[in-house]
Chain A
Amino acid sequence: MRKTKIVIAFLLVLSMALLSACGQSATAPVSGSENKPQGEAPAAGGDKAPANQAPVKIGAILPYSGVYASLGENLTRGLELYFDTVNWEAGGRKIELIKEDEENDPQAALRKLRKLVEKDQIDFLTGPVSTAVAYALRDEVDSKKIPFLVSHAGGNDLTRSKGSNYIWRSSFSSWQIGHSMGKYAYDHISKKMYLVAADYAFGHEVVTAFKEAYTAAGGEITGEVFPPLGSNDYASYLTQIKGANPEAVYAFFAGSDAVRFVQQYEQYGLKGKIPLVGSGWLNAEDIRPAQGSSPEGIISTMFWDYHLDTPENKAFIEAYEKKYNQRPSIESIEGYDAGRIIAEVLNSLNGDTSDKQKVTEAFGKVAFTSPRGPIKFDPKTHHIIQQLYVIQTELKDGKTENKVIDTIGEVQDPGVQ
Chain B
Amino acid sequence: MDILAIQLVNGLSYGLLLFMITSGLSLIFGIMGVLNLAHGSLYMVGAYLALGITKHVAPSFFAALLLAPLLVALFSVILEVGLLRPTYRLGHLSQVLLTFGLAYVVHDLVRWIWGSSVQSLSIPASLGSSVELFGQTFPIYRLAVMGFGLIVAAAMWFFQEKTRWGAIIRAGLSNREMVGGLGINITVVFTVVFAIGGLLAGIGGVAAAPILGLFPGMEFEVLILALVILVVGGLGSITGTLAASMIIGVVDTFGKVMFPQLSLMIIFGLMALVLIVKPTGLLGKQVN
Contact = CB atoms under 8 A, between A and B. Distances in A.
A289 B122 CA distance: 11
A228 B100 contact: no
Contacts of B138: 268
B115 A70 contact: yes
Interface stretch (B196-204, B213-221, B239-247): B213-221
Contact of B253 (A8, A236, A260, A291): A236
A292 B136 CA distance: 23
A395 interface: no
A5 B96 contact: yes
Contacts of A3: 279
A236 B10 contact: yes
Nearest to B212: A232
A228 to B, nearest CB: 6
Contact of B263 (A14, A228, A291): A228
Given A67-B217, A73-B116, A239-B6, A5 B35 contact: yes
Given A5-B93, A236-B257, 15 more contacts: A1-B92, A6-B227, A9-B227, A16-B220, A24-B221, A26-B217, A199-B261, A227-B263, A230-B221, A237-B257, A239-B3, A256-B215, A260-B211, A287-B117, A290-B120
A2 B256 contact: no
Interface in A54-88: 66-67, 69-70, 73
29 contacts: A2-B33, A2-B92, A2-B287, A2-B288, A6-B230, A9-B227, A12-B96, A17-B220, A24-B221, A26-B217, A66-B217, A70-B117, A226-B260, A227-B263, A230-B221, A232-B222, A232-B225, A235-B10, A235-B253, A236-B7, A236-B257, A239-B6, A239-B7, A239-B10, A267-B139, A290-B118, A290-B119, A290-B213, A292-B120
B6 A10 contact: no
B155 to A, nearest CB: 25
B105 to A, nearest CB: 14
B33 A17 contact: no
Interface of B: 3, 6-7, 10-11, 13-14, 29, 33, 35, 37, 92-93, 96, 100, 111, 115-120, 122, 130, 136-139, 141-142, 211-218, 220-225, 227, 230-231, 235, 253-254, 256-257, 260-261, 263-264, 279, 287-288
Contacts of B257: 236-237, 239-240
Interface residues of A, number: 56
Contacts of A24: 217, 221
A146 interface: no
Contacts of A67: 116, 215-217
Main secondary structure of the interface of A (DSSP, over half): helix
B264 A228 contact: yes
Contact of B256 (A73, A236, A286): A236
A356 interface: no
Contacts of A199: 260-261
A23 interface: yes
A67 to B, nearest CB: 5
A275 to B, nearest CB: 17
A292 B124 CA distance: 12
| 10 nearest CB pairs, A to B | A269-B137, A267-B139, A235-B10, A70-B116, A290-B120, A26-B215, A256-B118, A236-B253, A236-B256, A69-B116
Contacts of A73: 116
Contacts of B116: 26, 67, 69-70, 73
B115 A6 contact: no
Contact of B223 (A8, A13, A256): A13
Given A8-B96, A268-B130, A20 B260 contact: no
Interface in A191-240: 199, 225-228, 230-233, 235-237, 239-240
B117 A17 contact: no
A404 interface: no
Contacts of B100: 9, 12
Contacts of B92: 1-2, 4-5
B213 A256 contact: yes
Interface in A221-271: 225-228, 230-233, 235-237, 239-240, 242-243, 255-256, 259-260, 263-264, 267-270
Interface in A260-315: 260, 263-264, 267-270, 286-287, 289-292
Contacts of A268: 130, 136-139
Contacts of A267: 130, 139, 141-142
